């Protein structure tokens, strides 16, 4: 979602500064092209989950609680509202019947479920530090991680 993307971008602004250094909300907002109110909302969510903390006062702002290498994207996504899961797929049936005719035996649901699990595991293995590199380096690292995954059977390994 947009909230997860912008929240992650705000965290990256904190991750780019030396550990323990306070970053002002208005500075993050200016660098990301967001309103200060929205940045504050996102950082409050991240604060509730323990990823950041606020510093009050004239020189106040927010600080990342752990080094970027110790904060996973999975934690960030969960703090900002969590990933959509496949559990809801069969309950949002829009056909003419009350329930999907494939409710008890559905290969499609299994594919989405496996993909969701893989994405969650991938996010839990990827840290803020991993994505601080330039886009090319991040793309190469992702390609290297995905290289062996060519089918559903490979995802189970």
Q: How confident is the model at residue 87 (pLDDT cuts 50, 70, 90)?
A: low
Least confident of 12-26, 68-82, 134-148: 134-148
Which CATH code, of 1.10.3720.10, 3.30.420.40, 1.10.10.10, 3.40.47.10, is assigned to 2-82? 1.10.10.10
Closest to 39 (Cα-Cα) out of 7, 8, 78: 7
For residues 97-121, give the mean pLDDT.
Answer: 78
Q: Domain extents for the chain? A: 2-82
Helix or strand holding residue 52 (H, E): strand 52-55
Average pLDDT of the chain to the nearest whole number: 85
Q: Is 42 exposed, middle or buried (0-12, 13-18, 19+ CB in 10 A)?
A: buried
Q: How confident is the model at residue 153 (pLDDT cuts 50, 70, 90)?
A: low
Please tell me which residue, 151 or 40, carries the higher pLDDT value: 40
């Amino acid at each position: 979602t947009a909230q997860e993307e912008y929240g992650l971008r705000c965290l990256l602004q904190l991750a780019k500064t030396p550990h323990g250094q306070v970053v002002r909300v208005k500075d993050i907002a200016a660098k990301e092209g967001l309103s200060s109110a929205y940045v504050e909302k996102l950082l409050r969510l991240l604060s509730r989950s323990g990823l950041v903390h606020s510093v009050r006062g004239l020189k106040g702002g927010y600080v990342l609680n752990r080094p970027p290498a110790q904060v996973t994207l999975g934690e960030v996504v969960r703090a900002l509202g969590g990933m959509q899961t496949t559990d809801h797929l069969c309950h949002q049936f829009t056909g003419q019947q009350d329930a999907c005719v494939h409710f008890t035996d559905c290969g499609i649901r299994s594919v989405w479920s496996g993909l969701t699990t893989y994405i969650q595991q991938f996010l839990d293995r990827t840290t803020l530090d991993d994505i601080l590199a330039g886009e090319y380096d991040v793309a190469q690292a992702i390609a290297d991680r995905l290289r062996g995954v060519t089918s559903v059977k490979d995802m189970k390994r």
